Structure formats: C-alpha cells, structure tokens
Amino acid sequence: MKFYKSILILFLFYSISGVAQNGITEIPEDPTFQANNQVKFNFVPLLWKTGSLNYERKLSKRWTLGLTANYRPKSDAPFKSYFQKMFGEDGKGYLDNAFDIDKLEYGNWWLSPEVKVYLGKSGAFKGFYIAGFFKYENIDIDYDYYLNWEENGLNFNTSLPLEGDLRSWTGGIYVGIQWKIADNWHLDWQIIGGNYGGGKLEVSVHQELTPEQQNEIRDFAQDIHEELNDVKYEVNNHGAKIWGNIPWAGFRTGLSIGYSF
C-alpha cells in the first residue's frame, strides 16, 4: 500500500511540475501576432512638472510615425537656485540682479510629430533608432519685473507685472534605444537630441505708467532690440508692448515606459 501511495505522489508531483513549466511559468508567444501600435509615458519631464505622452504607429519593418504631446500647468520654475546662478551672482538678491527666478511663473504645451527608423535586425520597437521631428510649442509667462530709478537724489523702486507669450516652430533630430522588458512592454531611452528654429515673442504691461517707469522699460526694450533686431517695442503712459521674431532652440531627452498592441 505504501508503494502505491509513493507512486501516486510522484505522478502528481511530475504532473504539476510539467504544467508549471509548460503552461504557467512560460507563456508561449503567438507567432502570428505583430504589434503595430505603441503608447509611452516619459518620466523625465516630471522633474519640471510636465506630463509627456507619445503614440507611435508602425509603417513598415523599420519605420514608424509618432506624435508626442507635453503639457505643464502654469506654476513656479523648477531648479530655482541653478537658474539664479545662471542669471545672477552668488550672494546677491534679486534687487542686485537683472533676473529673479522667484518672480517667474510659466506654463507650456507642445505637439511634436516625428518619424523614426530602427536600425537593428529586430525592426520597429526594438533596438537603436534615429528620429526626426517637428515641434510646435506655446509658452505662457508671468513675471514681476523690478524697476529702480533715482530722482532728485531719492531712490525709487517698484515692480511691474509682465505677461508674455511665446509661440515657436522648430525641427530637430534625436537618437535613442528601446528594449523589450516583458510581453508587450518596452523601455525607451531617448539618449540625446535637439531642435532649432524660430518663435514669435510678445510681452506686455497692462497698467498706467509714470514717465520714470516708461524710461526704464524703454532702456530694457532697447537692450533686447540691440541683441535681436527683429524685436520691436512700444511704450506709453497706458502700458508697454515688446514683440517680434526670435531664434529658438530646445533639448530632447527622456526615459519612457511603453506598451505595444
């Protein structure tokens, strides 16, 4: 009786092991299924409070067509101490510097159609790739501009609320690599890339201005005009406006998780 029990236990053990190996732990892939679509979420833009989604469609074995959308609600700027060092000097407050990052709020959104070629033997959605893209971006900016002047031996200062809008059109390329990490799941590293083009800038002050404030803004606008000849300005007692075409560039990188279907 013990012998038959031992045979039965061994039979059940090997049966369960065979099911686990062939039916549970390993799910065979369907050789007839080919993913033609992929959606991805980029984690890197979260560092500057931006959400980024990408859709990619397979056109052939190596070529895909995609669209990336980014959105950042208007809020204060990230990495304040880093940018303050770029625009000012250590140990100085914003009264001594031309720019104060604490006074800046901005939001933006952009859309970017792109075409991508995968260079490896595996084809689309796997391996090293090169992408070319076009990018339209809209940036909305609020900034309190500090004014300081002297009159009759007295020092005066105030701040003016500037409202700005920038719409840019650029093109560029980037390179990356993508790995399959699970069934239908991929990791996409956009290694490095950049874009260059132009934009249309408009900055306005919507309030009554004193003659001293007008003079300060004219000096500020004239400095911009000397650097960028296409930028014009208009200042009067009812407000101020600075507008014109400017060059614009950007940087492209990212780390995304993607799902293919």
CA proximity to 247, closest of 174, 138, 170: 170
SS (H, E, C) the chain: CHHHHHHHHHHHHHHHHHHHHHHHCCCCCCCCCCCCEEEEEECHHHHHCCEEEEEEEECCCCEEEEEEEEEEEEEECCCHHHHHHHHCCCCCCCCCCCCCHHHEEEEEEEEEEEEEEECCCCCCCCEEEEEEEEEEEEEEEEEEEEEEEEECCEEEEEEEEEEEEEEEEEEEEEEEEEEEEECCEEEEEEEEEEEEEEEEEEEEECCCCCHHHHHHHHHHHHHHHHHCCCEEEEEECCEEEEEEEEEEEEEEEEEEEEEEC
Fold (CATH) for 35-260: Porin (2.40.160)
Q: Which residues of the chain have pLDDT under 70?
A: 1-33, 83-99, 149
| pTM for the predicted model, two decimal places | 0.77
β-bridge partners, 148? 157
- Residue 125 is predicted with a pLDDT of 96
Give the rounded percent of residues in the chain with a pLDDT score beyond 70: 79
The domain limits of the chain are 35-260
